[in-house]
Amino acid sequence: MTFLWPPGLLLYLLIPALIAGYVWMLRRPSRVRVRYSSLDLVAQAAAAGKPWRRHVPAGLYLATLCAIILTLARPMAPVPVPDNHTVVMLSIDVSRSMMAHDVVPNRIEAAKKAAVEFVRALPRGAKVGLVSFSSYATLVTPPTDDHDRVIQAINGLTLEFATAIGDGLLEAIYALPGRARPENGMAPTVPPASPEQLPPATVVLLSDGQSNRGTPPEDAAVVARQLHVKVYTVGLGSPEGTFLELGGRSIFVRLDEETLKAIAQTTAGTYQRVSSTTELSRVYTRLGRSIGWERKPTEVSGLVSVAVAALFVGTVAVSLLWMHRLG
């Protein structure tokens, strides 16, 4: 925490003096003498009393004073605020293996639900787009701040054959602002500005299988790193694999965790594996609440003032109830 007016904190030097004055007042001999007719009454009064109670109001008043001094110093704290400069692309595997029912109701429906929750968790104004990939990659929705449009596109995804993870990643990268698709070959076309000046961009890629078409995923990851795109990968399913019934045939499908981990590591992103609808939703929601937001130092004097008011009201109430016995 930082402060806009640090000299205000010097007022805390008064606190030791106030404590010392309070202790002196307690130890000062009383001028009023109370006479008891019986020593038994004195013993009962001493036993019934709770000496610590009389110090509680004073402690609360002191805490209130400390909070007021903190407010005067105008504290600043890092607060999450929308970062509308960040663009996010969702890249979702729509291969036939997404029909597997090891995730209820099936993988593709769970992926759709989680992707919708991700978009809804993004701050208003943040741009998000959608890419689907199977044997080829398709730019379904370019980056837009119309979140309802992206949600509608997610719900309309359909399944195809094969899995081209590398192509799905590249399609998402080249849809991002400032990242130009090369005319020939894999070498990216870097704009006149240096790569460090490219606008922030992120890709969230989900797959449940092994890449068996198109661009090698490791090559696509290198392109993402060169163009300063951070890639978060999500693996759906299990590395041990499962059998899927397609057209009367039983097909074995398994999750290629090593490839997804390598993509995330190359681009300074993270990899997470999920095996249920609940886990997938949790991961996507968490990503949506972190991507597109940034923490900026913001003055929080207003919040502290509310706390001071509440503390002061509580202090007055305790004083009335305990010291004057009005409760």
Type and span of the H or E element at 82: strand 75-82
Nearest CA to 157 among 122, 216, 123, 116? Answer: 116
Q: Are residues 112 and 65 in the same domain?
A: no
How does residue 259 score in pLDDT terms, banded at 50, 70 and 90?
Answer: very high
Full strand arrangement of the beta sheet holding 2-3: 2-3, 75-82, 293-299
CA 323, chain centre distance (Å): 46
- Mean model confidence pLDDT for the chain: 84
Pair 104, 235 in one domain: yes
Confidence bin at 27 (pLDDT 50/70/90): confident
CA angle 246-247-253, nearest 5°?
Answer: 20
89 and 68, same structural domain? no
| Domain tally, the chain | 2
pLDDT for 242 equals 73
Give me the mean pLDDT over the 298-305 stretch. 82
pLDDT bracket for residue 325 (50, 70, 90): low
Confidence band for 326, pLDDT divided at 50, 70 and 90: very low
> Would you state the pLDDT for residue 172?
97
* Pair 243, 127: CB distance under 8 Å: no
Domain match, 313 and 234 both: no
Same-domain pairing of 73 and 106: no
Closest to 290 in 3D by CA, of 300, 278, 279, 282: 282
Per-residue pLDDT, averaged over 194-201, amounts to 76
Written as one letter, the residue type at 264 is A
**pLDDT for residue 47:** 45
Lowest mean per-residue pLDDT among 99-113, 278-292, 313-327: 313-327
- Give every CB contact of residue 197 below 8 A, 6+ residues apart in sequence: none
- Res 62: pLDDT: 87
Instruction: From 53, 51, 65, select the one nearest 16 (Cα to Cα).
Output: 65
Query: How much is the pLDDT for 327?
Result: 45
Residues 147 and 181 in one domain: yes
159 in the same domain as 180: yes
How many percent of the chain have pLDDT more than 70? 84
Question: Poorest-confidence range of 107-111, 237-241, 243-247, 303-307?
Answer: 243-247
Instruction: State which amino acid sits at residue 309.
Output: A
- 245 and 98 within one domain: yes
pLDDT (average), residues 298-309: 83
Shared-domain flag, residues 147 and 265? yes
Rg over CA atoms, the chain: 31
pLDDT at 194 over 50: yes
Which domain, by its residues, includes 192?
Answer: 84-291
pLDDT the model gives residue 301: 82
pLDDT score for 55: 75
pLDDT exceeds cutoff 80 at 48: no
Neighbours of 8 (CB within 10 A): 17
250 class by beta-carbon count within 10 Å (0-12 exposed, 13-18 middle, 19+ buried): exposed
- The share of the chain scoring above pLDDT 90, in percent, equals 41
Higher pLDDT, 197 or 128: 128
What pLDDT was estimated at residue 188?
A: 57
Indicate the pLDDT class of residue 303, thresholds 50, 70 and 90.
confident
pLDDT tens per residue, range 62-105: 888 888 888 888 888 887 766 667 899 999 999 988 988 888 88
**pLDDT at position 77, please?**
84
Question: What is the average pLDDT across 139-144?
Answer: 97
- 9-20 residue pLDDT tens: 888 898 888 888
Contact 98, 206 (CB under 8 A): no
Q: Do 141 and 277 reside in the same domain of the chain?
A: yes
CATH code, domain carrying 100: 3.40.50.410
Quick check: 36 pLDDT over 80? no
Mean pLDDT, residues 223-249: 85
| Dist. CA 147–CA 116, nearest whole Å | 9
Lowest mean pLDDT, pick from 1-10, 57-66, 69-78, 182-191: 182-191
Name 226's Cβ contacts closer than 8 Å, sequence gap at least 6: 188, 190, 195
> Do 88 and 7 sit in the same domain of this protein?
no
Same-domain pairing of 56 and 103:
no
